[in-house]
Structure 1
Amino acid sequence: MQYSEALDYLYSRLPVYHRIGPKAIKPGLTNTLRLCAALGDPQHKFKSIHVGGTNGKGSTAHMLAAVYQAAGYRVGLYTSPHLRSFTERIRINGQPIDEEDVADFVTSQQALIESIEPSFFEVTVALAFLYFAFQEVDVAVIEVGLGGRLDSTNVITPAASVITNIGFDHMDILGDTLPAIAAEKAGIIKAGIPVIIGETHPETEPVFRAKATQEAAPITFADQQVRVQDRGLLRGFRQVLVSQAGESDSLFELGLTGGYQRHNLAAVLATVEMLQPIWPVSKEALQRGVREVVTLTGLKGRFQLLSDEPRVYVDTAHNKPGLEALMETVASLSFDTLRIVMGVVADKAASSLLLTLPSSAVYYFCQASSPRSLPALLLQAEAAEVARFGEVYSDVNVALDAARQDAQGNDVILITGSNYVVAELINL
């Protein structure tokens, strides 16, 4: 098969979450374990760091990968979903897997895929693990797809597990209370393996401590060990002052400029410190990694500035806690009018998302081409019920053009609400 044929085969034959939502999930690790066993158990042939959580796990995974890359290691990075190309999900030192390697895998493993009938995500995970093993990476940073306990990535035995935070998302799958969601996320905590929790919360801390005790896993709460103070934006970077016990204060420049990234940085620093005996990292490599994460790993869509006149930002925030964190950053900016280009998926509670956004903003409603997208007309109607008003546009690029035409010199345009809407931006 050619690359395009291989993708068509996977998309047409296997259930895909970003197209049909929760119905694509095949609960349990059986299929992933069967795939890996048939491939020689590649998940045991490289060292790894496992990164889960509700929000920030993608940014945290990319920052960790960038830090170790800056320190001279050969670094694999597995994340999901992709924005533009499937190959973005599997990278080594920032370079996506070759299309030919994807095509060769699907062609050679077609009989295996058809005998097991896994999900799209399960096949992707197996491909990533085989690729990292073959490429002999020094470390692979593996982002959890959804949840933790039953996520396909949870067949690795990492050097450390990282859980960024817990918030309300995917409640139809993970539970409708923070402790229930935390229990699913805590499923990546393994016997004797250190775990780093990014943010302390009174409802979830006991869940993590209990699981860590059960597994005899050393546990660190990053925000109790690392203090990160926001010093604002300067020269295109988020300036933060870091205080850690036993060390002098350090100023870091973050290439990911959202104010919420200070929480992710604490998790990154605590993780790197924990793993110094395995992968030593200098302070210079730490600072370069978090500063140059975008160029080192290719991450896009995290409070990314697309243009200056007018100022256009894009952020993939797509749940209530993610949007609340995003709006804290937006509120720190100076502007006359905020113009929000927005689309969401149909299985999110749109009104709850909209209530995190200001009623004073001007809205431009759109939808992605994914069948999971909420039709823009329905989004407009739900928005009107909570006093958020705007017009409907056929897609994100048309909506953005309209917002640009309406914008005055000191306005800010924000594109957000869905990975799938962001992915369709022409000039991302």
Structure 2
Amino acid sequence: MSLPQTLDGWLGLLEQRHGQAIRLGLDRVQTVRAALGADPDAVLITVGGTNGKGSTCAMLEAILLAEGYRVGCYTSPHLLRYNERVRVNGVDASDEQLIAGFAAVEAARGDTPLTYFEHGTLAAWEVFRIAAPDVIILEVGLGGRLDAVNVFDADCAIVTSVAMDHMDYLGDTREAIGFEKAGIFRAGRPAVCGDPQPPASLREHAEAIGAMLWISGRDFGFGGDQQQWGYWRYPAPGARGALTKRGGLAYPALRGANQLLNAAAVFTALDTLRSRIPVSMQAIRQGLMLVEVPGRFQVLPGKPTVVLDVAHNPQAAGVLAENLGGMGFYPETWAVLGMMADKDVEGVAALMRHRVDHWLLADLPGPRGLDAESLAARLHAAEVGGDVRCFASPEQAFAAARKSAAEGDRIVAFGSFLTVADVLAAIRAERH
């Protein structure tokens, strides 16, 4: 069988080869990983959690690049191009790099089946192996314990938050989900939890394996005013003593109050690794000033105001609602919403209902995509009220919002990566 010669060809092959998009377990991935070349000599940071993973990875990457380190960063999913998932020194991997990575994994796997995400994770690792970075940042795709990323032993693992999502795979309680997230922790190594109230299962697993668990609010934290903020940390997890403090910090370029939770976890992780990758305050300030993550409370210039946010579960929707409340007065808010059928639509709607005046609902493609009429029925069941209209795509819903909204109004596109990607693609096409 001849192998694809283009990136689109590879992605098409992987999509049609494995009908099961999610197949939890590490044995197959570990087998193929062992058949690849020697691991790069790099510090490895793994980032898991329900929400905040992308922002946390972006802050780590921006700070480390500002310090002058060579950095590989793997995140998922992407918005517009698969290349966004794999970055080397802040630049998306080229088609050629990814094709070489996919081909190397294909040669190494033999008869071992891999899912789309597993093949992509190992291909990213191969790209990093060739690039030989100083630091590698890996974002967990789903859960942690049985996610493909967990075949790699992190020098420091971060769990950003624990909330109800992906319950078909991770369990239907926060305790069950917390245990799965904690699976990325390693014995004798730093484990940072950005959730101020982690489930007992996460704490107990860290203690059982002997991980060095730092918990937000207990071992480190932050405070600030409208002008600046500061970070504090105790000398060791679970201990008390002289505080390490950093004050007079400018707020991260990423918008939203929750970003300080992520930034404090980033600081703690970097502090635990300072003997191997020391980072200066200048690099921290520069990194926070320059960090960007498309689709995470991204406010676009122009009128009406357009906000893009990939929030797709109640915890993220609650943060989005809070951030919208802090933006000031807008006469009307127009929501462009598309969601997956397996998400808690009612929970998201309940948290956003008081921020939205008009609901412009969109069909999403694929077997998990929810059509607009079904989405409308679920919003009706949640008694959200307001104006509700249905469209065949997020692009069409956004066009209708642009046509209807007054100059002083606000348009918010959210509910899924697919929703934001379609709207963002339409905006970029219009500009170019």
TM-score by length of structure 2 reads 0.90
Q: Which of 95-104 and 62-71 deviates more?
A: 95-104
CA distance in 2, matches of 1:380, 1:307: 30
Cα distance change, pair 240–394 in 1 and its aligned pair in 2 (3 A) = farther
SS at match of 2:323: helix
8 A contact 1:50–1:160 mirrored in 2: yes
What residue number does 1:351 align with? Answer: 346
Number of aligned pairs? 408
Q: Which of 251, 254, 257 lines up with 1:253 in the alignment?
A: 251
- C-alpha displacement at 1:109, in angstroms? 4.5
Distance 1:320 1:187, change over 3 A: same
Identity %: 33
What's the CA shift for 1:265? 1.1
Kept in 2, the 8 Å contact 1:340–1:364? The answer is yes
For residues 161 and 307 of structure 1, the distance between their equivalents in structure 2, rounded to whole angstroms, comes to 36
Q: Does residue 213 of the first structure (1) align with residue 207 of the second (2)?
A: yes
2:388 match: 390
User: Could you say which residue in structure 2 is the equivalent of 1:36?
Assistant: 33
Unaligned runs of 5+ residues in structure 1 are: 16-22, 233-238
Give the root-mean-square deviation of aligned CA atoms: 1.8
Give the partner amino acid of 1:273.
D
- Secondary structure, in 3 states, of the residue corresponding to 2:274? coil
| Structure 2: gaps (5+ residues) | 233-242
| C-alpha distance after superposition, 1:122-178 (max 9, x if no partner) | 111111111111111000011111001001000112210111110000111111111
Trace 1:153-164 onto structure 2 (pairs within 5 A): 153-164=149-160
Aligned equivalent of 1:18:
none
The residue that corresponds to 2:362 in the other structure is 366
1:53-132 to structure 2, matched below 5 A, reads 53-113=49-109, 115-132=111-128
Pick closer, same or farther for the CA change 1:253–1:343 going to 2, 3 Å.
same
SS of the residue 1:77 aligns to:
strand
Structure 1 counterpart of 2:179, from 180, 183, 191: 183
Give the CA deviation at 1:198: 0.5
Please give the secondary structure, in 1, of the residue aligned with 2:150: coil
Report how far residue 111 of structure 1 moved: 5.0
Q: SS of the residue aligned with 1:336? A: coil
Work out the CA distance in 1 between the residues paired with 2:374 and 2:224.
38
1:240-389 equivalences under 5 Å are 240-244=228-232, 245-294=243-292, 299-334=293-328, 335-359=330-354, 360-385=356-381, 386-388=383-385, 389=387
Asked whether the 8 Å contact 2:36–2:104 carries over to 1, the reply is no
Q: How far is the alpha carbon of 1:81 from its aligned partner? A: 0.8
Deviation at 1:113, TM superposition (A): 4.5
Change (3 A) 1:380 1:130: same
Q: Which residue of 2 aligns with 1:404?
A: 402
Q: Is the 8 A contact 1:313 1:413 kept in 2?
A: yes
**Once the two structures are superposed, what CA deviation does each residue of 1:198-231 show, in whole Å capped at 9, x if it has no partner?**
0221x61x32332222222211113334443464
Distance in 1 between the 2:94 and 2:221 partners? 40
Q: What is the rounded CA distance, in whole Å, between the counterparts of 1:62 and 1:255 in structure 2?
A: 11
Q: Which one-letter code corresponds to 2:90 in the other structure?
A: G
Distance 1:54 1:107 in 2: 31
Name the structure, 1 or 2, with higher relative contact order (CA <8 Å, separation 6+): 1
Is 1:8 the equivalent of 2:12?
Answer: yes
Cα shift at 1:371? 3.3
CA separation of 1:312/1:117 partners in 2, compared to 1, >3 Å: closer, same or farther? same
Q: Measure, in 2, the Cα distance between the counterparts of 1:41 and 1:169.
A: 35
The aligned amino acid for 2:155 is A
What code does the residue aligned with 1:8 have? G
Assess, with a 3 A threshold, how the Cα gap between structure 1 residues 51 and 240 changes in structure 2: closer, same or farther: farther
Which of 119, 129, 134 is matched with 1:133 structurally? 129
Shift of 1:41: 4.8
